[in-house]
């Protein structure tokens, strides 16, 4: 029997210091995410970063935490799994988190116990980066190492230019724009950033991002002077991929641009980086610089086009395995 496994980064269990501390500890201990030598990084992590950042991040998570559904990332990943299950009634569909709960290893063990001997794994990261896609592969391999009966595995490759993914992003953006009561003067296409040195060492992420953007603006018919591709979520002092989203938004406002829509094609589910960082922090910065309206784009979430798109991508990779 073939099972389908969605691999998502993860989310804290609670928007509190105690909820964020173990989450950030696991995330920032990943050698794919932080390439600083351990001898230098670990003392800095435990003595300075975790004691301070856990509380700061908890306050941010409280702003987006739903009293019923909790973390938006967990909520929409669960929804994606439920809706995909309807597309594959004869195949168990599960999701696992690389960090936090439900753990990827537990989801895999439950699938194997249910009789799954072949797995189609879908990392929820359209553009490849060692910090995300490769880390997802690492997490899956570590989970497989703990199993006595190891299933055959197919890992879905990056789908940054797959028509099904692009169809879904285009549909979400068009739906967002149709709901606005004002007309954007400029479009910002924001992706999560990575350190410049990672790209210089061979990470193809920036290339994938550019190819996604190129296809999207062509589909949407945006003129070149009406859009800017940017990178957000910088961490630390070293240079990251540029231009930075906040710098661009601030400059747009100072140039007299009052209305901006921020598209977020690199995120497959709403999360802290999209709902709070763009929707609250970047909006506040934009308004302080003279802007009036900023709309943070909706992520793919449970949009019907994305469920349809995921199913298509999975069927292609699972050819011969899925009915």
Residue 282, pLDDT score: 97
CA distance 266 to 189: 9
Phi-psi category of residue 55: left, alpha or beta, with phi > 0 → left and psi -120 to 50 → alpha: alpha
Q: What would the pLDDT profile of 266-302 be if each residue is shown by its tens digit?
A: 999 999 999 999 999 999 999 999 999 999 999 999 9
Q: What is the average pLDDT across 53-69?
A: 96
For residue 12, pLDDT beyond 90: yes
Residue 323, pLDDT score: 73
Residue 243, preceding peptide bond in cis (omega within 30° of 0) = yes
By the 8 A CB rule, do 279 and 296 touch? Answer: yes
Within 156-236, residue ranges assigned H as helices are 163-179, 196-200, 205-220
Q: What would the pLDDT profile of 87-105 be if each residue is shown by its tens digit?
A: 999 999 999 999 999 999 9
Indicate the class that CATH gives domain 163-296: alpha beta
Q: What would the pLDDT profile of 155-166 be if each residue is shown by its tens digit?
A: 999 999 999 999
Chain centre to alpha carbon of residue 72: 12
Q: What is the average pLDDT across 135-152?
A: 97
Largest Cα separation within the chain, whole Å, is: 62
Residues 6+ apart with CB under 8 A from 39: none
Mean model confidence pLDDT for the chain: 97
Q: What would the pLDDT profile of 183-235 be if each residue is shown by its tens digit?
A: 999 999 999 999 999 999 999 999 999 999 999 999 999 999 999 999 999 98
Residue 142, pLDDT score: 96
Q: What is the average pLDDT across 175-186?
A: 97
pTM (predicted TM-score): 0.95
For residue 310, pLDDT beyond 80: yes
Residue 217, pLDDT score: 98
CA distance 69 to 71: 6
Residue from 98, 27, 21, 29 nearest 53 by CA: 21
Residue 167, pLDDT score: 98
Residues 6+ apart with CB under 8 A from 37: none
For residue 32, pLDDT beyond 90: yes
Distance between first and last Cα of the chain: 10
- For domain 2-158+304-317, give the CATH number: 3.40.50.1400
Residue 124 confidence class, pLDDT cut points 50, 70, 90 = very high
Residue 49, pLDDT score: 95
Residue 236, pLDDT score: 84
What is the residue whose two structure tokens read 């909520």? 75
What is the residue whose two structure tokens read 């173990």? 22
- Start-end of CATH 3.40.50.1400 domains in the chain: 2-158+304-317, 163-296
Residue 15, preceding peptide bond in cis (omega within 30° of 0) = no
Residue 237, pLDDT score: 85
Q: What is the average pLDDT across 7-25?
A: 96
Residue from 124, 12, 7 nearest 70 by CA: 12
Sheet with 186-192, edge to edge strand ranges: 227-232, 186-192, 259-263, 293-296
């Amino acid at each position: 029997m073939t099972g389908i496994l969605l691999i998502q980064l993860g989310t804290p269990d609670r928007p509190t210091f105690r909820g964020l501390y173990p989450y950030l500890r696991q995330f920032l201990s990943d050698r794919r995410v932080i390439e600083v030598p351990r001898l230098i990084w670990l003392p800095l992590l435990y003595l300075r970063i975790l004691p301070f950042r856990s509380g700061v991040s908890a306050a941010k998570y409280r702003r987006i935490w739903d009293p019923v559904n909790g973390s938006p990332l967990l909520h929409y990943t669960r929804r994606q799994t439920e809706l995909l299950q309807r597309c594959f009634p004869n195949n168990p569909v599960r999701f696992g988190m690389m960090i936090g709960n439900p753990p990827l290893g537990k989801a895999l063990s439950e699938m194997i116990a249910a009789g799954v001997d072949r797995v189609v794994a879908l990392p929820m990261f359209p553009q490849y980066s060692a910090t995300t896609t490769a880390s997802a592969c690492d997490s899956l391999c570590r989970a497989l190492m703990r199993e006595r009966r190891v299933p055959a595995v197919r890992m879905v490759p990056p789908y940054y230019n797959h028509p099904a993914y692009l169809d879904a992003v285009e549909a979400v953006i068009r739906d967002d724009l149709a709901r606005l009561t004002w007309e954007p003067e400029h479009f910002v296409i924001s992706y999560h950033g990575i350190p410049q040195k990672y790209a210089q060492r061979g990470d193809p992420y920036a290339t994938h991002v550019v190819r996604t953007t190129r296809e999207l603006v062509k589909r949407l018919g945006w003129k070149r002077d009406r859009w800017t591709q940017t990178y957000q979520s910088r961490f630390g002092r070293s240079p990251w991929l540029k231009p930075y989203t906040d710098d661009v938004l601030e400059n747009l406002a100072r140039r007299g641009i009052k209305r901006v829509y921020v598209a977020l094609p690199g995120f497959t589910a709403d999360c802290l980086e999209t709902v709070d960082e763009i929707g609250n922090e970047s909006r506040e910065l934009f308004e302080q610089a003279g802007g009036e309206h900023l709309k943070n784009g909706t992520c793919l979430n449970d949009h019907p086009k994305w469920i349809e798109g995921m199913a298509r991508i999975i069927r292609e990779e699972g050819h011969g395995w899925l009915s």
